[in-house]
């Protein structure tokens, strides 16, 4: 490339701040900026979240930043509503101006992000720190299943499953620790949610175990009933003279029929239980929009209804099994 071409190319580069070209700025960025590390803390327990509590968190963060050489910051807020609707606010001022009593959507989760530029003694230009706080259900059960199968990072799965997360991308460890501590202190001071029904918690926690037991042991229950009646009313099974090919074939046909009947019933019942447990709704922890006013009680009614249906059907199966065994004794007495 000739000197004339170089001069023309340099002349076409944009000038930043009247002195440095774009290439100069890129060089400064790569030389002076260190790669940030990340610190993550999971927030335990479900707490009530209101607009006043969110404002309090921002005030705490601002007071902490006043202790450092803050050059600038950008706050952004993302609200995730039911049915996939998302509301983004690119600044704290926009978030403050929102008329919450006019929004008729239920809040599923909220994410607050502060991009912070702080001047550190050992760096010539301000360094970028990011504080991110997420509260609420970030992904659906279906998305969680896909994440478990597709992700090789255990920390990512824990982060997605957590009801709350505070995450800091930092250059300075002290600043990151201070910000995380502020968020944890704020969260610990929030009002706790009322506990879910004990039966519901047990079913949700042991859903896989329960459905596996129903699916695998129901055919065995059917075979036990079959055997119980067989030994009572099929006397030919006790006589060696009757152990011929025809009788053995009849026995096997009946055995296989009972087994697969039990398997079909088990498959349908296990699937029904699995679907019903998935229909449980998390009690709303948000009191932000107009749409957050009634979902808490609606979720309680829905969850209680699901629990009653599961327990009622489980009770019918249990009572039906006992009745089947009692009927055999009655038949034996009637036969005699």
Q: Both 161 and 211 in a single domain?
A: no
Q: Both 272 and 144 in a single domain?
A: no
The two three-digit tokens of residue 161, written as one number: 């499953």
Report if residue 271 sits inside a domain.
Answer: yes
pLDDT of residue 115: 92
| Contact (Cβ atoms closer than 8 angstroms) between residue 292 and residue 233 | no
pLDDT of residue 64: 92
Residues 260 and 258: their CA atoms lie apart, in Å, by: 6
pLDDT of residue 8: 40
Encode pLDDT of 84-100 as tens digits.
789 999 999 999 999 98
pLDDT of residue 166: 93
pLDDT of residue 141: 55
Q: Which of 135, 165, 188 marks a domain boundary?
A: 188
Residue 117 backbone phi and psi in degrees, to 5: -115, 115
Encode pLDDT of 237-250 as tens digits.
555 556 667 777 77
Encode pLDDT of 179-210 as tens digits.
999 999 999 999 887 765 778 888 888 888 99
Q: Both 68 and 96 in a single domain?
A: yes
- Looking at every residue in the chain, the average pLDDT score rounds to 79
Q: For strand 49-50 and strand 20-21, is the pairing parallel, antiparallel, or unpaired? A: unpaired
- The residue-averaged pLDDT of 107-132 equals 87
Q: Both 135 and 167 in a single domain?
A: yes
Q: pLDDT band for 11, please (50, 70, 90 cuts).
A: very low
Residues 55 and 193: their CA atoms lie apart, in Å, by: 20
Specify the higher pLDDT residue, 266 or 242: 266
| Contact (Cβ atoms closer than 8 angstroms) between residue 126 and residue 71 | yes
Q: Where are the alpha helices (DSSP H) in the chain?
A: 3-12, 22-32, 51-65, 92-97, 141-150, 154-161, 173-188, 198-205, 207-233, 245-278, 295-335
Q: Both 208 and 82 in a single domain?
A: no
C-alpha to C-alpha distances, 4 to 11, 12, 22, 24, 187, nearest whole angstrom: 11, 13, 20, 20, 63
50 by Cβ neighbours in 10 Å (0-12 / 13-18 / 19+) ranks as middle
Q: For strand 86-89 and strand 164-170, is the pairing parallel, antiparallel, or unpaired? A: unpaired
Q: Both 77 and 163 in a single domain?
A: yes
Q: pLDDT band for 255, please (50, 70, 90 cuts).
A: confident
Residues 184 and 162: their CA atoms lie apart, in Å, by: 14
| Contact (Cβ atoms closer than 8 angstroms) between residue 47 and residue 192 | yes
Q: How crowded is the C-beta side of 280, counted as CA atoms within 13 Å? A: 22
Report if residue 44 sits inside a domain.
Answer: yes
Q: Both 58 and 161 in a single domain?
A: yes
What is the domain count for the chain? 2
Residues 82 and 298: their CA atoms lie apart, in Å, by: 14
Residues 284 and 106: their CA atoms lie apart, in Å, by: 8
Q: Which of 188, 211, 232 marks a domain boundary?
A: 188
Report if residue 113 sits inside a domain.
Answer: yes
Q: How crowded is the C-beta side of 240, counted as CA atoms within 13 Å? A: 0
Residue 327 structural domain: 198-335
Q: Tell which residue, 232, 235, 309, has the closest CA to residue 269.
A: 309
| pLDDT higher than threshold 80 for residue 270 | yes
């Amino acid at each position: 490339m000739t000197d004339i071409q170089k001069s023309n190319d340099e002349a076409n580069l944009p000038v930043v701040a009247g002195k440095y070209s774009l290439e100069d700025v890129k060089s400064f960025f790569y030389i002076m900026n260190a790669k940030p590390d990340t610190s993550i803390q999971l927030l335990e327990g479900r707490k009530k979240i209101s607009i006043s509590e969110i404002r309090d968190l921002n005030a705490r963060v601002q007071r902490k930043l006043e202790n450092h050489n803050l050059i600038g910051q950008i706050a952004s807020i993302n609200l995730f509503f039911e049915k996939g609707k998302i509301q983004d606010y690119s600044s704290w001022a926009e978030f403050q101006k929102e008329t919450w009593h006019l929004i008729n959507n239920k809040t599923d989760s909220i994410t607050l992000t502060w991009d912070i530029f702080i001047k550190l003694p050992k760096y010539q230009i301000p360094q970028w720190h990011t504080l991110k706080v997420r509260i609420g259900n970030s992904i659906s059960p279906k998305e969680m299943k896909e994440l478990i199968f597709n992700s090789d990072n255990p920390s990512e799965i824990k982060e997605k499953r957590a009801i709350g997360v505070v995450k800091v991308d930092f250059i300075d460890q002290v600043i990151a620790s201070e910000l995380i501590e502020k968020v944890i202190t704020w969260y610990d001071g929030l009002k706790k949610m009322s506990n879910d029904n004990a039966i519901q918690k047990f079913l949700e926690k042991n859903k896989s175990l329960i459905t596996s037991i129903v699916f695998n042991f129901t055919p065995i229950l059917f075979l036990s009933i079959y055997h119980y009646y067989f030994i009572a009313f099929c006397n030919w099974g006790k006589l060696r003279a009757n152990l011929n090919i025809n009788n053995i074939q009849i026995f096997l046909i009946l055995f296989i029929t009972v087994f697969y009947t039990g398997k079909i019933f088990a498959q349908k019942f296990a699937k029904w239980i699995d679907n019903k447990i998935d229909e449980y709704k998390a009690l709303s922890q948000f009191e932000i929009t107009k749409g957050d006013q009634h979902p808490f009680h609606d979720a309680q009614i829905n969850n209680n209804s699901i629990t009653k249906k599961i327990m009622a059907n489980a009770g019918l199966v249990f009572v039906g099994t006992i009745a089947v065994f009692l009927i055999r004794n009655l038949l034996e007495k009637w036969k005699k």
